A and B are shown apart, each in its own frame.
Chain A
Amino acid sequence: MFDLGSRPDASGHFGEYGGKYVSETLMAALDDLNKAWQKLRKDPEFLNEFDNDLNFYVGRPSPLYHAKRLSEKIGGAQILLKREDLNHTGAHKINNTVGQALLARYLGKNRVIAETGAGQHGVASATVAARLGMQCVVYMGEVDIHRQAINVYRMRLLGAQVRSVTSGSATLKDALNEAMRDWVSNVDSTYYIIGTVAGPHPYPQLVRDFNSVIGREARRQVQTQFGRLPDALVACVGGGSNAIGLFHPFVDDTEVPMYGVEAAGRGLESGQHAAPLTTGRVGVLHGNKSYLMDDDNGQILHTHSVSAGLDYPGVGPEHSWLKDSGRAEYVAIDDKEALDAFHLLTRTEGILPALESSHAVAYACKLAASMPADKLVLVNLSGRGDKDVHTVAELEGIQL
């Protein structure tokens, strides 16, 4: 069922990218995880259970929605939205956590940990932990705790412990560091649910496998509803899981261009952004080799994006490979463009997108405007915007 293509190779590399750049203490745990995953990804019983959870717990398949009023307003290609915002807990993140929770159970671990930026992955992890009766600790940067207060409370309601991370820039990258430290210290009892296609092998592969349900469904749906493949795919890229989830099943459809949208923050020239693929260079962070943002001394830079989920200086290694190979193109949308798209989609279609997803919507609108009306632009609407209502209000000077 999963695409059993050759990437990554047996050592976890996508070309030169990926790998296992971690401390020795974790190597055995990663080997165990890898062995388990290479077996389970072909195990019909496991895949069947995963499918059942996706259908009856997550609520899949998610619709492919033709945003007619938005398309009309833009006056170009037809914009199709893959509605991951309609999943249980409100984003694509649950596809991955449902899968990894099954994996944790298979490995006999009863404690799960996660890092989170926007809080969506934290909520999705706390959710599956509650469902399977597992202990759950979520690491979250202090800055993000403030801007995603609703999600913090949701996680606590679900029984998770949310631990504030104050080191470094107190955002997603620092939460990931802290989760790694927890994992090193509790490696026997604990399963680490990484929330995106980054981290050491086999995480980039297994998170992709779990999220590729997005692209498989979308490919089927667009053929059923429109009788053909789309003319472009668009998805936002933080660590890159919703984008890989959409792209992966289309990789061999070379006539379908794929666009990954990074956060240009306050503008690429300002340096205050989170666009490693657009502006960065290759380095090593969080267990893998990939594009990243660092200074000339190799220190990782603080990033900025209005959306917490894109506020990350690295990116999954498969995206670096897709970029170099030319199969995918990476572009950037700034805070203001994303906010405009947030309002536009809300007003034209009655759909409140997550600020992360708003970056994809913004680029899709630009792209669609340059294309004729008989073309199809398929956008991954990775999550809903309820969590961002406070942020948007604050930016617009409105007291709630």
Chain B
Amino acid sequence: MSQQYRLKSCFQMLAEQQRTALIPFITAGDPLADASVDIMHALVDAGADVIELGIPFSDPMADGPVIQLASERAIERGVSLHTVLQDVHNFRQNNQKTPVILMGYLNPLYRMGFAQFAQSAAAAGVDGVLIVDSPPEESVVLESLLAEAGISMIRLVAPTTTAERMRLIAAEATGFIYYVALKGITGAGSGANSDAESGQRINTMRKLTGLPVAAGFGIKDAESAADWAQLADAVVIGSALVTRLAECKSSEQACETVKSFLAPIRIAMDNVT
């Protein structure tokens, strides 16, 4: 299977170049049902190293208003787990290199059936799956089916995670670790500032797993991205991008928005030494 290889080689290359990965998040099917594949290519052109693609869910408990509304709009447009997988499949026709991580909630996967999901996701070219409401304790079945299909189940660590849980999460983690940069929901207004404690947690997870650590939640512009780039191996930008995309009326406009929004962030991250 090529999937885990894709994430691994991506982070290997970044390490060699001493660069931090930029991981933009978009909600599949927003602002338009059929623009996601174009937007994904535009993300890569604008310097994305990995793409996080949100699976819309009706009850996104860990998301702030921006991603909630994007999900509601996408569902209204008929977007579902099936169409999200189709998007990844279509993206892979022209991009074999950039890892794609699906982010979402468990029930849509449960409804499809974990085995079928794992198989379809692998066939579409998905590299990782991040399920917000499925901690390792509840993920045994899904995680092993994904592993068989060559897909990483990305595990989360939060500012509230205890040392004991960090060890539990580290055991058998694959792909990368996602560090939740703030105690809160996505897109929290005040934003997240890096701090010494976060730095320590990120280091601990790196040591325990030997995997790269991405920071996300509340990172919203060049300044905060550069700030977190000093601590983490990857920086995730979600709500700030989704907000801007929401205003776009066409695929072209969305792709332009991606470029103008990500360019200064990419530069700021690359200037971190």
| Shortest Cβ distance from residue A136 to the other chain B in the assembled complex, whole angstroms | 20
Identify which of residues 218-253 in chain B touch chain A, using a CB-to-CB cut-off of 8 Å: none
| Shortest Cβ distance from residue A97 to the other chain B in the assembled complex, whole angstroms | 22
How far is B57's CA from A187's CA once the two chains are assembled, in angstroms?
Answer: 24
How far is B170's CA from A64's CA once the two chains are assembled, in angstroms?
Answer: 54
How far is B110's CA from A399's CA once the two chains are assembled, in angstroms?
Answer: 47
Contact A299 B58, CB 8 Å, known A29-B160, A181-B185, A284-B110: yes
Identify which of residues 34-88 in chain B touch chain A, using a CB-to-CB cut-off of 8 Å: 57-65, 68-69, 72, 75, 80-82
| Shortest Cβ distance from residue A292 to the other chain B in the assembled complex, whole angstroms | 8
- A369 on interface, CB distance cutoff 8 Å: no
Inter-chain contact A24/B107, CB cutoff 8 Å: no
Binding site for A on B (CB under 8 A): 57-65, 68-69, 72, 75, 80-82, 105-112, 132-135, 137-138, 156-162, 165, 169, 180, 183-185, 188
How far is B68's CA from A11's CA once the two chains are assembled, in angstroms?
Answer: 30
- A27 on interface, CB distance cutoff 8 Å: yes
**Beyond A23-B135, A25-B158, 17 extra complex contacts between A and B, CB < 8 Å:** A11-B137, A23-B61, A24-B180, A25-B62, A25-B180, A27-B160, A167-B65, A173-B59, A181-B62, A181-B63, A184-B184, A184-B185, A297-B80, A297-B108, A298-B111, A299-B75, A300-B58
Please pick, from B61, B81, B161, the residue contacting A286 in the complex, using a CB distance under 8 A: B61
Q: Across the two chains, which residue of chain A brings its CB closest to B160?
A: A28
Residues of A within 8 A of B108 (CB): 297-299
How far is B105's CA from A26's CA once the two chains are assembled, in angstroms?
Answer: 15
Size category of the A interface is 35 or more
Binding site for B on A (CB under 8 A): 11, 19-29, 31, 167-168, 173-174, 177, 180-181, 184-188, 282-287, 289, 292, 294, 296-300
Inter-chain contact B132/A23, CB cutoff 8 Å: yes
Contact A27 B161, CB 8 Å, known A20-B135, A167-B72: yes
How far is B180's CA from A294's CA once the two chains are assembled, in angstroms?
Answer: 29
Residues of A within 8 A of B109 (CB): 298
Q: Across the two chains, which residue of chain B brings its CB closest to A25?
A: B158
Q: Across the two chains, which residue of chain B brings its CB closest to A28?
A: B160
Contact A285 B59, CB 8 Å, known A297-B108, A297-B111: yes
